[in-house]
Amino acid sequence: MIQVVAGIIIENKTVFIAKRKKGNVLEGYWEFPGGKHEIGETLEASLIREFEEEFNVEIEVLEKLHDNIHHYPQISIHLHSFICKKIKGEFQLLDHDEVQWVNIEELENILLAPADIPIIEALKKATLNK
């Protein structure tokens, strides 16, 4: 089982998602950006590192949103998602094919990585009265 972190950034009621690059596992699927947790790091530190590596932005990790285990044919992942905020920089496309901001209600019409599907409900609940 690998530990994976994913960051959820909401601005103007839309959420930031990125399309996985051609040639990567889950190529063409959209994800909440992040990546594998590395030994010796906190989950939050992994997420900050991944956003810097993949988009050259600095984020602040605000709160845990959800976590779930998903079994892919080749690998099982424990996915931890966190609500984050961009605090510095403009998004640069360094490791994805595309990015977009989508309304939370539109997320279910997007080809999200299968492990990310439960995050949609958690996100709807968390933002219900906001």
Ligand X SMILES: Nc1nc2c([nH]c(=O)n2[C@H]2C[C@H](O)[C@@H](COP(=O)(O)OP(=O)(O)OP(=O)(O)O)O2)c(=O)[nH]1
Q: Which of residues 88-107 bind ligand X (CB under 6 A)?
A: none
Residue span 9-48 as binding mask against ligand X, x where in contact by CB under 6 A, dash where not: ---------------xxx----xxxxxx------------
HSE, side-chain direction, 13 A CA sphere, residue 112? 22
71 binds ligand X (CB under 6 A): no
Pick one of 10, 15, 107, 113: the residue that binds ligand X (CB under 6 A). Answer: 113
- The DSSP symbol for 129 reads T
Residue indicated by tokens 């931890």:
80
Among all residues, whose Cβ is closest to ligand X? 35
Any contact of residue 59 with ligand X (CB under 6 A)? no
Q: What SS3 string covers 101-123?
A: EEEHHHHHHCCECHHHHHHHHHH
DSSP 8-state code for residue 21: P
- The residues of the shown chain that bind ligand X, judged by CB under 6 A, are 4, 6, 24-26, 31-36, 50, 75, 77, 79, 113, 115-116
